[in-house]
């Protein structure tokens, strides 16, 4: 039991959720490693939503609301950490939710689908076909879902699949705490924030957004600038920490 007054309570709760989900084989062992990398970057970013990440989240809300067919792609880590938040995001934006895994087994697809449904998500069902230009099972997706989407949000994604989706002409939004990852660098819109904070913020912005505001945000998107701001925040945090150390 994690004590509620622990200064890093929220982060430890997330770690515990990932560990439990790994025991249940919802999260792949490789996903435990990915989570650790995310935690490290969250530390560097100050475990908070930066101003530029919030702008990215608002812009993501605008893209999801403006889409012809928006899809939220959910993997094991995303389901384990944010099933309930995905349900709220789906209600606020009308997006489809497709389970899409890097380490794909039928057993994991079914377990993740059940976890999402138990939390109120309507999960897209259908036969996965090899529709993405990638080797191995990463090519699989549902024709009426990711394949047909014009806007797709792929949290905690692999760089190759992100690139393939961009090459297919989709607007690809990612949530990734590492601004240097291939995914972060390849996506059209990169939210450098922790998954649960990011999804909650996208949902609350989607509930408030009007068409004019949405159009303006889409028009003004500058992903290079967003990535640069994220790296700048990390550098400032490190430099503050160094100053504190040398003053001590």
Which residues fall within 8 angstroms of residue 99, CB to CB, at 6 or more apart?
Answer: 74, 75, 79, 109, 112, 113, 116, 123
Strand partners, 123: 97
Q: Cα separation of 109 and 76, whole Å?
A: 9
Q: Rule CB under 6 A: is residue 177 a binding residue for ligand ATP?
A: yes
Q: Rule CB under 6 A: is residue 159 a binding residue for ligand ATP?
A: yes
Q: Which is nearer to ligand ATP, 9 or 220 (CB)?
A: 9
Number of residues that bind ligand ATP (CB under 6 A): 18
Site for ligand ATP in 33-52 (CB under 6 A): 34-35, 37-38, 41
Site for ligand ATP in 186-215 (CB under 6 A): 194-195
Alpha-helix runs per DSSP H in the chain: 9-23, 29-45, 51-66, 76-93, 106-118, 159-167, 182-186, 195-208, 211-219, 223-247
From the list 84, 117, 150, 158, which residue makes contact with ligand ATP (rule: CB under 6 A)?
158
Closest CA to 159 of 130, 190, 202: 190
| Interaction pattern, residues 68-97, with ligand ATP; x per rule: CB under 6 A | -------------x----------------
Q: Rule CB under 6 A: is residue 183 a binding residue for ligand ATP?
A: yes
Q: Which is nearer to ligand ATP, 66 or 233 (CB)?
A: 233
Determine the interface stretch with ligand ATP among 65-73, 112-120, 122-130, 155-163 (rule: CB under 6 A). Answer: 155-163
Q: Cα separation of 98 and 46, whole Å?
A: 31
Inter-residue contact 14 to 31 (CB < 8 Å): no
Residue nearest to ligand ATP (CB): 38
Q: Which is nearer to ligand ATP, 69 or 200 (CB)?
A: 200
56-92 per-residue burial string, b: 16 or more CB within 10 A, e: under 16: bbbbbbbbbbbbebbbbbbbbbbbbbbbebbbbbbeb
Q: Rule CB under 6 A: is residue 13 a binding residue for ligand ATP?
A: no
Residues in contact with ligand ATP by CB under 6 A are: 34-35, 37-38, 41, 81, 156, 158-159, 175-178, 181-183, 194-195
């Amino acid at each position: 039991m994690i004590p509620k007054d622990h200064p890093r309570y929220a982060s430890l709760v997330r770690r515990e959720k990932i560990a439990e989900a790994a025991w249940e084989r919802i999260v792949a062992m490789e996903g435990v490693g990915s989570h650790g990398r995310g935690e490290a970057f969250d530390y560097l970013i100050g475990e908070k939503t930066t101003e530029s990440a919030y702008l990215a989240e608002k812009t993501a809300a605008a893209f999801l609301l403006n889409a012809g067919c928006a899809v939220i792609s959910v993997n094991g880590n995303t389901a384990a950490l944010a099933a309930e938040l995905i349900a709220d995001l789906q209600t606020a934006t009308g997006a489809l939710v497709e389970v899409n895994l890097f380490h794909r087994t039928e057993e994991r697809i079914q377990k993740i689908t059940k976890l999402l449904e138990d939390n109120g998500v309507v999960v897209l069902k259908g036969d996965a076909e090899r529709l993405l230009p990638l080797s191995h099972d990463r090519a699989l997706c549902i024709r009426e879902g990711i394949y047909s989407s014009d806007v797709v949000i792929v949290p905690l994604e692999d760089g190759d699949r992100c690139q393939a989706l961009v090459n297919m002409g989709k607007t690809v939004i990612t949530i990734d705490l590492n601004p240097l990852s291939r995914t972060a660098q390849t996506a059209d819109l990169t939210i450098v924030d922790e998954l649960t904070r990011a999804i909650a913020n996208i949902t609350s912005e989607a509930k408030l957004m009007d068409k004019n505001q949405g159009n303006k945000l889409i028009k003004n998107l500058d992903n290079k600038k967003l990535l640069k701001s994220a790296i700048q925040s990390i550098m400032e945090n490190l430099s503050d920490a160094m100053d504190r150390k040398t003053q001590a």
